Structure 1
Amino acid sequence: MLRSTIFAFALVASTNAYTYTFDNKCSYTVWPAIGKAPNGVPDPSVAFGAQLGAGKSQSFTIGNTEIGIRAWGRTGCNSAGANCATGNCNGGLVCTDGGITSDVLLAELGYGDYGQYGGERTSWDLSLVSASLNINTELASSDGQSVTCVTGNCAPPNAFLNEGDSSAVHNSAAGANFVHTFCP
């Protein structure tokens, strides 16, 4: 009985969240970050930061119904994960500003209910709006969709270049997992 209860709980928990994995294929250390800033307003209820050496990966769990999620990579940070050369944020290793000060390529994710046209989904994209490409990046969902933004090739539908461009938006069923690869 206990074993089936634990399994049922694990099954419910897994359908209420998705896993976001950072994979560093660069030859240098990257400091990945995740923050929440719906409508550009920082919300510290979702925040993650880590130091990720070359060849390493690390995951973070995010609730399916979260909106305004942003993920990005930082380079050249000090030993505390602060004062980064690119992708800097307020708060140090774990950013408190939801990425609104990073000025680099962002992955953006958020919940949406499309009703009869697809049900509960996670909309996602890469965005270069008012930002620069600091690390070549690929974002892939577990349903097989992926986008890549690399130097010399980072345009729609792979990434937003301006706010009016909707061709970069992708969506996956709620619960789909994501892999954010640096230096794909």
Structure 2
Amino acid sequence: MMKHLSAVLLLLLFLLHRSDAIRFDIQNNCSYTLWPAVLPHVGGRRLDSGQTWTLDFQTGPNLAKIWARTNCTFDSAGQGSCLTGDCGGRLNCTAYGAPPHTKAEYGLNSFARKDYYDISVMDGFNVPVEMAPTTNNCTRSVRCAADVVGGCPDDLKAPGGCQNPCSVYKTTEYCCHAGACRPTDKSRFFKALCREAFTYPEDDPTSTFTCPAGTNYRVVFCP
């Protein structure tokens, strides 16, 4: 009898623990294969067209990033390279990706019991992306899904994507190393196509969104 009660209690504790998990569904809606990465707490994997990668976190990660890598080739040991978003030639990323790549960023339960999330082109653009809350009556999705690569200025063009001017020029004007931080002609190019995206270092007022702590999310590439 005691063994039975102990087993029931353990099951209840497990279910309660699971109920606190935060869920992320990462969907590849593109017509081609992607290799999404999630750092600092997961790594990366292959995701064919139409597939979804579901992640459950028992505690909310802080200030993490999700991005897609394109045109990757890996061997059986998980070593290789990607045209965009490459993270040191590894399938299972342990470092952030090389620009250009579009990012979904979030800080879960990071301040005042709120989640903060955004879409960023601060490392450039490679794949259209949307991030949307799916629970807690939080419904504000954010996306960058325009043809940024097709309209990319010549000086920002890169194989498979479009660079952010900070990555190209590395100057205070574009990177806001010191002094006043304002939009530039280059950041306005991105803002005109992706009005909800983070386009320069102090683009917070129009590009950062919040939900109650414990909200689940969906990230869709090629929404």
**Same fold per TM (> 0.5)?**
yes
* RMSD across aligned positions (CA): 2.1
Task: Calculate the TM-score normalised by the size of structure 1.
Answer: 0.80
Which structure is higher in strand share?
1
Which ranges in structure 2 are unaligned for 5 or more consecutive residues?
148-191
State the aligned residue count: 166
For 2:216 and 2:89, how far apart are their aligned partners in 1? 27
Match of 1:127 in 2: 120
User: Which structure has the greater CA radius of gyration?
Assistant: 2
Residue 85 of structure 2 is aligned to residue 87 of structure 1: yes
Q: Deviations over 1:103-158 (max 9, x none)?
A: 311111113231xxxxx2221111111x22211111111132211101246433x2
Q: Say which of 102, 106, 127 aligns to 1:105.
A: 102
Task: Calculate the TM-score normalised by the size of structure 2.
Answer: 0.67
For 1:4 and 1:148, how far apart are their aligned partners in 2? 44
Q: Deviations over 1:33-59 (max 9, x none)?
A: 0012xxxxxxxxx12211111111111
* 1:138 alignment partner, SS class: strand
Match of 1:32 in 2: 36
Task: State whether residues 145 and 194 of structure 2, in contact with CA within 8 Å, keep that contact through their aligned partners in structure 1.
Answer: no
Match of 1:21 in 2: 25
Which structure is higher in helix share?
2
Identity in percent = 29
Mapping for residues 23-172 of structure 1, pairs under 5 Å: 23-36=27-40, 46-80=41-75, 82-90=80-88, 92-97=90-95, 99=96, 101-111=98-108, 112-114=110-112, 120-129=113-122, 131-142=123-134, 143-152=138-147, 154-156=193-195, 158-166=196-204, 167-172=206-211
Task: State whether residues 49 and 93 of structure 1, in contact with CA within 8 Å, keep that contact through their aligned partners in structure 2.
Answer: yes
For 1:165 and 1:135, how far apart are their aligned partners in 2? 21
Displacement of 1:65 in angstroms is 3.7
Aligned pair in 2 of structure 1 residues 64, 154: CA closer, same or farther (>3 Å)? farther
Task: State whether residues 146 and 194 of structure 2, in contact with CA within 8 Å, keep that contact through their aligned partners in structure 1.
Answer: no
Matched to 1:25, the amino acid is N
Moved more, 4-13 or 26-35: 4-13
For 1:122 and 1:14, how far apart are their aligned partners in 2? 18
For 1:13 and 1:102, how far apart are their aligned partners in 2? 36
For 1:4 and 1:125, how far apart are their aligned partners in 2? 40
Aligned pair in 2 of structure 1 residues 147, 154: CA closer, same or farther (>3 Å)? farther
For 1:47 and 1:101, how far apart are their aligned partners in 2? 18
Which ranges in structure 1 are unaligned for 5 or more consecutive residues?
37-45, 115-119
Task: State whether residues 125 and 168 of structure 1, in contact with CA within 8 Å, keep that contact through their aligned partners in structure 2.
Answer: yes
Match of 2:218 in 1: 179
